[in-house]
A = this chain, B = another copy of it.
């Protein structure tokens, strides 16, 4: 009810304030008997850590995961998987100065109006640190998805004013991993970096866009009315801090297209395989996966913590001028890419499990195109 739980069969509950004892989560409904590679999970978590780059927050988060339950002798038990990521290197005193000030475009204002009593240290529960728990839970979901042939890859296509205009159909994961900004085009990546250096210099920040592609997903995932796969992906993405927009397949461009141009024709190949000639659908028709690649994009706003002076008010209604110094990223994009993958993995794994009862003969495996 308080919205800290996502998913119906595979359900993930997140908890923790950024400067409390720990952030963490409980992943319930994970099937029993799955091999759990803890190193893989730690690796996923590490991807979310601030890079060596000068552009990211200098906060040293070791983000070491502690599994509390649900895994025994290297395999899942089918019971709730609880885990913690301790909050080390807490410096709450960094936040005392802004303790009772509404930082513009932060959640301070709305938390205060909703709860009256708030944890003012570093955003508390509104901190992006909460996404560490998402990435850990998503890593478990990925382990499950990998075992059934589903792969998820997210990457940066825009940072501030620099965009990729042509995006290859096949993206090489190594090129993504080699880019600090997780952009598969080295030239664009370089330009993005320059832009961020300039913004840092001027005490400013910017936003960006992440694209995500899911391959190997069987047809049939998603429920036809409210829990459309596209709707659940939209919700999961828009639940990430700083998200401002979501579009799938042709997205906003679809609005100006004609039906004859937009419709994805279906053809039968010589080898008998059924194929969509285009993929404006983004791999989802009527809310249900069609077996083609699922692809979507998520827009993120600029980091609101800027060094430049801003006008605001405090809790008591007094006007204030503030400049937010300290450990803050110039752009969320590189750190949000693994979060997009994690949220996609949680949604797809949940729907994979949800799709199993649809038929009377529940052990029937659905054909994939």
B34 touches A13 (CB 8 A): no
**Chain B CB within 8 A of A228 CB:** yes
- Is B356 a contact of A362 with CB atoms below 8 Å? yes
B-side contacts of A239, CB under 8 Å? 225-228, 231, 287
Q: Which residues of B contact A258 (CB under 8 A)?
A: 160, 199, 204-206, 302
A182 to chain B, nearest CB (A): 15
Interface contact B360-A353, CB-CB below 8 Å:
no
Tell yes or no: A268 within 8 A of B by CB.
yes
Least CB separation from A250: chain B residue: B244
Question: Does A175 sit at the interface, judged by CB under 8 A?
Answer: no
A206 CB contact (under 8 Å) in B21, B244, B259, B286: B259
- Tell me if A207 is interfacial: C-beta within 8 Å of chain B: yes
CB contact between A356 and one of B262, B305, B357 (< 8 Å): that residue: B357
* Least Cβ–Cβ distance between A118 and chain B, in angstroms: 7
**A69–B15 alpha-carbon span in the complex (Å):** 7
Q: Which of chain B's residues have a CB closer than 8 A to the CB of A43?
A: none
Please give the distance in Å from A183's CB to the nearest CB on chain B. 13
Q: Is the CB of B125 within 8 A of A77?
A: yes
Complex CA gap A66/B285 in Å reads 31
Contacts of A69 in B (CB 8 A): 15-17, 20-24, 125
Which one, A47-55, A56-64, A102-110, A164-172, is touching chain B?
A: A102-110
> What's the Cα separation between A226 and B264 when bound, in Å?
33
A29 within 8 A of B: yes
B312 touches A254 (CB 8 A): no
The docked-state distance in angstroms from the alpha carbon of A220 to that of B32 is: 13
Task: Tell me if A124 is interfacial: C-beta within 8 Å of chain B.
Answer: yes
Complex CA distance for A10 and B362, rounded to whole angstroms = 14
Could you tell me which residues of chain A, from 229 to 282, have a CB within 8 Å of some CB in chain B? Answer: 230-239, 241, 243-252, 254-268, 272, 274, 277, 280-282
User: Given B32, B263, B286, B366, which contacts A107 in the complex, CB threshold below 8 Å?
Assistant: B286
> Do A116 and B33 touch across chains, with their CB atoms under 8 A apart?
yes
Q: How distant is A238 from chain B, measured CB to nearest CB, in Å? A: 4
A155 at the interface (CB under 8 A from B): no
Contact flag A126-B286 (CB < 8 Å), given A69-B17, A207-B262, A317-B272: yes
CB closest chain-B residue, reference A311: B265
Q: Does A90 make an interface contact (CB < 8 A)?
A: no
Do A360 and B21 have beta carbons less than 8 Å apart?
Answer: no
**Binary interface profile of A, 1-27, with partner B (CB < 8 Å = 1, else 0)?**
111111011110111110011111010
